[in-house]
Structure 1
Amino acid sequence: MFNIHLVRDEKFINSSFEIFERFYPNKNLFVVDTNETDKKYVNQRDNVIFLPFSQLDWLKIIGKYLIDKTCNVNVIVHYLTENSAIRALELKKKGFVNNLYWIFYGADLYNYLEIKGKYHLYDYNVKGRDCFIHKYVKLLLGRYNYVDAFCSQLNYFCFWNYYDYEILCDNIKTNAKFKLFYYVNTLKKPNDKLFDSGSDFSNILVNNSASYTGNHLTVLNKLSKLGVNNSRIILPLSYGPSPHITLIEKEIEKLFLKEDYFLLKEYLPINTYYDIVNTCQYAVMGHRRQEAGGNIGYLLRSGSKVFLREDNNLLRYYKDLGCFVYSFEKDLISSDALFPLNIDQKKVNRDIIEGMVSSQKIEDMMTNLLKD
């Protein structure tokens, strides 16, 4: 077996490298979609190469690593883009590889479905959302056909939420099978400060970034109408498009007093960020799709009361597991809903989430991942 990983230059790819090398030692080649001089996060290693997927001689260079391979070769795409799909399909067509794996993130499918009119992500329009104009132009030019082409050849869809796999199969023709996978390095140990407290903390976390899909105005207007006078809203805005950040700032200034909210506008060290999150007894997520899964898992383990949208399949996912998680539309209907989980409910949530990511579960997941 030999595995070619097509990845972006992202922080957690280094840890991904380590977990794949642990279970499949010396059987991995990570190809990073950037030049070595432009890399920011992925470390240089013997079996990591920096090669933009758009480079003209890309296939020739990668082919040299495969020409003498007599074993099964897998291509593992971490987040599907047009260029990664094109390169993976080229390798399959040339007969270099046996199986195509898609390690799913979220936006790599949902954005496509939204553009196609098959999934509704946004509650409102935002001026300056020029990126969406570009997407529609690409759609008209047939530039999104890569998703259908890739899925027609896809062997395995890899993620931890089976409901996203069902959305794929309901909307795109594919014979791909489901494989359980999550990035182990994203699992941060929770803090017991919030877990052990009663109502000492009353802050409300709203989303995890300033992404358009967070539908911040919907959440802020609802919280304003409910009246959350005894709570402070924590709003992460360090990541996201500037027109949307500006819109959110104007809206919260209109709806709340200055002392009733705190904007996280700067990138913070990870421990500092989680110190703030650990003061949030409640979390309200405005996403209409699966998003912020790592944050939600952390919040559930830490003892926060989490509210999710009805059309976000994570609400059903966590309820099916037995977690105490709540509906934004059906449960957050008065300020009385902002009452902390009791210690037994917190313990149930923590035990369920931690049981899913135990050492044995991780070993089983990684051992079975690349088995036919």
Structure 2
Amino acid sequence: MKEVLVLLPDSPYSDWIIQKVQLLQGTNYDFACFGVERNYIKSPVCTFMMPGSSAYQEFIKKKNKYDRVVIHYHTQETGFFVEKSQIPSEKLVWVLWSGDLYNSKFYKKPLYLRQTLLWKEANTTELKRNSKLKEYVKSLLGKINSYDYQKSFQRIKYIGTCFPTDVNEADDTFGKCYIIIPHNILSINELFEVNSFATIQSTGTKILLGHSGAVENNHLDGIDLLQKLRISHQILCPLSYGGEEYIKAVISAGNNAFGDKFQPLTAFLPKIEYYQLLTEVGFAVFFLRIQQAFGNILGLLFLGVKIFLPKENSIFIDLRKKGFLLFSIEELSKKAISNGLNEQDRLQNRSLILKLYNEEKIAESYERMYLGSMNNVE
């Protein structure tokens, strides 16, 4: 019987992942998170530990028993583990969540558009990075370090994702040619209330700007462009989490540009209430240059919202290849946001979501990831 180790971040999604993995037969699983406090993971089968602790040292002794090691969200802690344990490449799969690539210091392409970059440069005090020598010394001393973290990306052979474009970005970043294992982490049932959504659709004309207060949303550039287009729509702007100072800057810019037509959403809403609010939205504009907000985007497409994304965003690239109707930021105009999707286009997007992200498809994805032969994906 196969032995599989699943390394997880302390994320709201991790319990769902654990539940889906536990449904698989024919393999024994261990779940671990390199942390101390449980903020999100509630499942008791997931062991929490910190590198260097006695529990961690005992854990490392079992490394050779695993036939496969699946890393969700690759960090310095997971990189330290695979390097110090010398996990063979053939056993390693990195399930790429997006942020573990784009927010790593190794990714060099720009995340920010002009207005947002100017704000960030004016409001960020960059700490001097530790030298490679210092990081190497940390490695010798058995401490978490960026030296082993960077090396670990070379050790990895496989990437699990439903976004081939993200793998191309990882290839370019690390000078590798990773092998893709097609994998969807969550079904539409976890991403949004599909049963409730089956009887509702968007009927409004509001514009949704971004999905959170994360700086990668480039809100300031979005506000600038929408102001130049002289739009008259009300604008909903979700800002329930992110950097406090950045959120203040976005609210100030939005109020200055649109007055009371700009509606910041700073309180966290239960999922069903949030998506009910989105039925007032006819258009959604994301200035994300990277893959974020996938669940939000699928939910909006299911509701029939017309979505605009930068053409370099992997969600835009890969969903367009699958037949979804999305639009690029370059196509954004006053005319484009005065005409919503027609019924045929709405049904096309909804039917593709039901076809590609249903429970059966996700179950197949998990079987492929955790039970399938690595040789079959090469």
Query: Would the TM-score normalized by the shorter structure come out above 0.5?
Result: yes
- Alpha-carbon distance in 2 for matches of 1:83, 1:58: 15
The one-letter code of the counterpart of 1:206 is L
**8 Å Cα contact 1:282/1:338 also seen in 2:** no
Structure 2 contact 193–272 (Cα < 8 Å) conserved: no
Residue in structure 1 matched with residue 48 of structure 2 by the alignment: 50
SS state at 2:347 partner: helix
- Which residue does the alignment assign to 1:216? 219
In structure 2, the residue matched to 1:149 is: 151
Corresponding residue pairs, total? 354
Amino acid at match of 2:271: I
What are the Cα deviations for residues 69-110 of structure 1, in whole angstroms up to 9, with x where unaligned?
Answer: 3xx5222111011111111222235x7x96111111112111
The gaps in structure 1 that reach 5 residues or longer are: none
Secondary structure, in 3 states, of the residue corresponding to 1:275?
helix
TM-score, normalised relative to structure 2: 0.86
Q: What CA distance in whole angstroms lies between the structure 1 residues aligned with 2:122 and 2:75?
A: 20
Q: Is the counterpart of residue 233 in structure 1 residue 225 in structure 2?
A: no
Q: What secondary structure sits across from 2:118 in the alignment? A: coil
Alignment map for 1:67-86 (pairs within 5 Å): 69=65, 72-86=66-80
Equivalent residue number for residue 109 of structure 2: 119
Which SS does the other structure have where 2:119 is aligned? coil
C-alpha change, 1:309 and 1:127, in structure 2 (3 Å) is closer
Deviations 1:46-70 (A, max 9, x none): x321112x33435422135456x3x
Task: Pick which of 294-303 and 144-153 moved more.
Answer: 144-153
Contact in 1 for aligned 2:4/2:27 (Cα 8 Å): no
Matching residue of 1:326: 327
Following superposition, the deviation at residue 243 of structure 1 comes to 1.6
Shift of 1:301: 1.6
Q: What amino acid sits opposite 2:154 in the alignment?
A: S
Distance in 1 (CA, whole Å) between partners of 2:156 and 2:42 is 29
For residues 275-333 of structure 1, the C-alpha deviation after alignment (integer angstroms, 9 at most, x for no partner) is: 2123211110011112111111111122110000122132221221121100112x112
Whether contact under 8 Å (1:226, 1:335) holds in the other structure is: no
Q: Give yes or no for contact 1:194–1:279 (8 Å, CA) kept in 2.
A: no
8 Å contact from structure 1 (residues 73, 98) kept in 2: no
**Counterparts of residues 96-175 of structure 1 (less than 5 Å):** 99-112=91-104, 115-116=105-106, 118-123=108-113, 124-127=117-120, 133-134=126-127, 137-138=129-130, 144-175=146-177
Q: Is the 8 A contact 1:78 1:103 kept in 2?
A: yes
Letter of the structure 2 residue corresponding to residue 49 of structure 1: T
* 3-state SS, counterpart of residue 52 of structure 2: coil
AA partner of residue 365 (structure 2):
M
* 1:194/1:325 CA distance change after superposition, 3 Å: farther
CA 1:308–1:194: 2 relative to 1, 3 Å: farther
**How far off is 1:125 after superposition?**
2.7
Query: Aligned partner of 1:126: which letter?
Result: W
Unaligned runs of 5+ residues in structure 2 are 136-144
1:33 Cα deviation after fit: 2.4
**Does structure 2 retain, via aligned residues, the 8 Å contact 1:227–1:335?**
no
- CA deviations 1:8-38 (Å, max 9, x no partner) are 2111211110101111466111112222xx2
Matched ranges for 1:192-207 at <5 A = 192=198, 195=201, 200-207=203-210
Other-structure match for 2:139: none
Of all paired residues, the percent bearing the same amino acid is: 21
For the aligned residues, what is the CA RMSD? 2.5
Q: Distance in 2 between matches of 1:282 and 1:166?
A: 29
The answer to whether the 8 Å contact 1:153/1:174 transfers is: no
**Aligned AA (2:94):** W
Match 1:61 to one of 58, 63, 71:
58
Tell me which amino acid in the other structure corresponds to 1:89. Answer: E
Higher RCO (Cα < 8 Å, 6 or more apart): 2
Name the SS of the counterpart of 2:129 in structure 1.
helix
2:33 matched to which residue of 1?
32
> Which amino acid in structure 1 is aligned with residue 277 of structure 2?
I
Task: Report what 1:263 is aligned to.
Answer: 264
CA shift for structure 1 position 129: 7.5
